[in-house]
Amino acid sequence: MKRLYSRLKMDDDTQNVDMTPLIDMVFILLIFFIVTSVFAKDKGMDIERPSQQSAGKVAKENIMIALTKEGKLRADGRDISFNSLRSYVAKKINSKDQAVVIMADIDADVGDLADIMDECRLAGAKKISLATETE
The pLDDT tens digits of the residues spanning 26-64 come to 999 999 998 888 766 555 556 665 555 555 555 567 888
Angstrom distance (rounded) from CA 16 to CA 66: 63
Largest CA-CA distance found in the chain, in angstroms, rounded: 101
The whole-number average pLDDT for the span 63-78 is: 85
pLDDT category, 98, cuts 50, 70, 90? confident
pLDDT category, 92, cuts 50, 70, 90? confident
Angstrom distance (rounded) from CA 27 to CA 25: 5
